[in-house]
Amino acid sequence: MFTGIVEELGRVNSLRGSRLRIDAEVVLHDVVMGASIAVNGCCLTVVATGSDDGSGSWWEADVSDETFRRTSLGTLAAGDPVNLERPVRLADRLGGHLVQGHVDAVAKVLQPAPDLRVELPDGLARYVVEKGSVTVDGVSLTVVDAAADSFSVAVIPHTSEVTTLGHRPSGSVVNLEVDVMAKYAESLLGGYLAGGAPAPEEHDDDT
C-alpha cells in the first residue's frame, strides 16, 4: 500500500526484455530483496540491487507481460524519469490517499501541467468526482473538474519539479489508479443500487 507521495525522481537505466533497471538513491536506503517499490504508480518487486562506479546505485524488477499490457512501463526508455515510492509504514503520515499500486488504465494527457487534463477510459468516470482523489503516474492528486470522458487536476510547481508530471506533454501517456475506496463502496452497495437489498444472513437458533 502506498500514499501517492513521490519520494524520489529516479531514472530508467535500462529495459532489457522483462528486466527493468532504475537508478535511484532514496528508495534504496532500507531496501531488501522482495520489497515493493512503486514505479509511476505500478507496484514492482525488487529482485536485485547494486551500484556502478561513479554513477550511483540501482535496483531491478521483473515486469510481467500482464503489467506491460496494463501500464505504460513498456514505453520507458533509458534516461526517462520515473516516480518512485516505497510502501507506507503504519507509523507514517498518510499525506496523500490509499494507493494500491495497481494500475487501472493507461490514459492520454490532453493538456499538460499546471492545469493537467487527462482522458478517462471507459468504465472509470464513475470513480472520479470533483474534490475526490486520483493517482496519475503514482502521484496522489485532487480532482478539480470531472467530466464524462476526462478530468483535470492542478499541479503545483513543486510537484511538477519533483515528479514526472512536469515532463508530460499533450499526447503522452500516464498510469491511472482510481480511489479504491470508491470501488469498495460500489461493490458493497451494488445490491441496493440494482434495486434490491441483499438477503439477511441466517443464524442457527443455538448461536
Q: Confirm if 7 and 84 have CB atoms less than 8 A apart.
A: yes
pLDDT of residue 207: 44
72 vs 118: CA distance, rounded Å: 14
What domains can you pick out in the chain, each with its CATH number?
8-85 (2.40.30.20), 105-193 (2.40.30.20)
64 vs 39: CA distance, rounded Å: 14
Residues 6+ apart with CB under 8 A from 186: 126, 127, 193
pLDDT tens per residue across all 207 residues of the chain: 999 999 999 999 999 999 999 999 999 999 999 999 999 999 999 999 999 876 789 999 999 999 999 999 999 999 999 999 999 987 787 788 889 999 999 999 999 999 999 999 999 999 999 999 999 999 999 999 999 999 999 999 999 999 999 999 999 999 999 999 888 888 888 877 666 555 555 545 554
Rounded CA Rg of the chain = 19
Is the pTM of the predicted complex or chain greater than 0.85? yes
| Short-list 174, 15, 19, CA closest to 83 | 174
